[in-house]
Structure 1
């Protein structure tokens, strides 16, 4: 009788399954990276390595350089890549209970919203 495809024994050192050299650890697709975790970003024309903050800064610098050279399309492309990392930074800050990162580098001025009376009590 011939063995079926599922009758193979698990091979490997730790018996954890997985494969691909991962040692049985599965990466969750929506897991947030560690603050100091080095990531690779395959941008439109270059590869950028660093932590999330460094990759964001690099893309913003590339966007400024492209804007200065008159290439609006590449500037927008780099800004969209940077926005992706802003979202990751905001998710990390939310998970760690820290304030949100402002994409433009702007600070909260502490001003109230226009048209909202701080002393107004609806009851």
Structure 2
């Protein structure tokens, strides 16, 4: 007599590559970047988040948001100078 016992979900071993990166890659095209307006909105959003965190006394989170805002600010500057 054969034992057709399957391991339960809690006993399964993790196998790298079983689900792998290939299962996450989609063949659909990536969305196009929204351009200058999208960068401006992101800049304003991160700047507002940074100011809010600074008012709440969370300087670490505020600095993080300021760095994100700076990234979008520089991106806007570079895009405006491409012409």
Q: What is the CA deviation profile of residues 61-85 of structure 1, one whole-angstrom value per residue up to 9, with x for unaligned ones? A: 0000000000000000000000110
Q: Which stretches of structure 1, 4 residues or more, deviate above 3 A after TM superposition?
A: none
Q: Which runs of 5+ in 1 are unaligned?
A: 1-18, 37-50, 97-123
**For residue 60 of structure 1, what is the aligned residue in structure 2?**
47
Matches of 1:82 and 1:90, distance apart in 2: 12
Per-residue CA deviation, residues 23-56 of structure 1 (Å, 9 max, x unaligned), is xxxx8xxxx86334xxxxxxxxxxxxxx110110
Q: Which of 66, 69, 72 is matched with 1:85 structurally?
A: 72
SS at match of 1:95: coil
* Residue correspondence of structure 1 range 24-43 to structure 2 within 5 A: 34-36=35-37
Q: 1:20 aligns with which of 8, 17, 27?
A: 27
TM-score, normalised on structure 2? 0.59
Higher relative contact order (CA 8 A, sep 6+): 2
Normalized per residue, the structure richer in strand is 1
Q: CA RMSD in A?
A: 2.4
